[in-house]
């Protein structure tokens, strides 16, 4: 998460552009620190920056959503929507692997 946070600070505009992909039906989840790591940080950044861990997920109380024949199409659409996040996280992992050599 440290490298993730560093990347947010290195290019906040690029990060915010990527973060726009996490919208309905997805939501950002994960445990946050009780106190902000950086005071007076913009809320759009802080909601990501202050996480101990993070995930994006879709929640539904309707079992028929899972049993519907449209589920594969919805999954494909959802994964395509999250490609910018995936690419960003893969870049962070690449930086992590380079710095640990």
Residue spans of the domains in the chain: they are 2-99
**Reported pTM:** 0.88
Task: Give pLDDT tens digits for 15-26.
Answer: 999 999 999 999
Percentage of the chain surpassing pLDDT 70? 99
Q: Is the pLDDT of residue 52 over 80?
A: yes
Token pair belonging to 85: 């996040």
Residue 28 phi/psi, 5-degree rounding, is -80, 130
Cβ atoms of 95 and 7 within 8 Å: the answer is: yes
Neighbours of 12 (CB within 10 A): 15
- Asked if the model's pLDDT at residue 92 lies above 80, the reply is yes
């Amino acid at each position: 998460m440290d490298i993730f946070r560093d990347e947010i600070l290195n290019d906040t505009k690029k990060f915010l552009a990527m973060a726009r992909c996490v919208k309905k039906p997805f939501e950002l989840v994960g445990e946050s620190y009780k106190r902000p790591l950086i005071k007076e940080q913009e809320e759009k950044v802080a909601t990501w920056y202050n996480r101990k861990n993070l995930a994006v997920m879709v929640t539904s109380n309707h079992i028929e959503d899972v049993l519907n024949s449209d589920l594969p199409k919805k999954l494909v659409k959802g994964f395509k929507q999250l490609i910018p996040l995936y690419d960003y996280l893969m870049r962070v992992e690449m930086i992590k692997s380079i710095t640990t050599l």
